[in-house]
């Protein structure tokens, strides 16, 4: 399967703590993306990192990519209760120019 695998499947933290989610994959990629989904809603794009990039920041989000280990991490700093959601990594494999492949997701709960 070309799918990414997120780790952990579920994460519960206190408000103000940092949350780290990991994504491992097996195929070569053009880019890797992270999405967020609030309960019962569609997905919202958070950040995209290209295969030649190692780190990217967007507000409280920090994404790293290690193509040699085929892994990525999403760090949310100073978490808030409103960050409670599911987070998905999504791959754009080199063999599939346009089709984005999603992993099963990490469910994050931020306790006020």
- Contact with other proteins (CB under 8 A) among 63, 105, 108, 110: 105
Token pair for residue 31?
């880019």
Q: Which stretch binds other proteins (CB under 8 A): 10-18, 66-74, 76-84, 89-97?
A: 89-97
By the rule CB under 8 A, 109 interacts with other proteins: no
Measured at the alpha carbon of residue 50, what is the angle toward residues 54 and 55, in degrees to the nearest 5? 25
Sign of CA dihedral 54, 69, 5, 109: negative
- Grouping H, G, I as helix, E, B as strand and the rest as coil, residue 8 is coil
By the rule CB under 8 A, 98 interacts with other proteins: yes
Chain positions contacting other proteins, by CB under 8 A:
3, 30-31, 33, 35, 40-45, 48, 50, 88, 90, 92, 97-105
């Amino acid at each position: 399967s070309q799918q990414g695998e997120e780790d952990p499947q579920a994460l519960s933290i206190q408000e103000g703590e940092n949350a780290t989610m990991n994504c491992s994959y097996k195929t070569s990629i053009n880019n890797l993306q992270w999405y967020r989904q609030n309960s019962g809603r569609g997905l919202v794009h958070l950040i995209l990192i290209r295969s030649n990039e190692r780190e990217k920041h967007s507000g409280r989000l920090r994404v790293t990519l290690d193509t040699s280990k085929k892994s990525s991490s999403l760090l949310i700093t100073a978490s808030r209760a409103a960050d409670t959601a599911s987070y998905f990594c999504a791959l754009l494999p080199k063999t599939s120019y346009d089709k984005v492949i999603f992993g099963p997701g990490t469910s994050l709960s931020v306790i006020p």
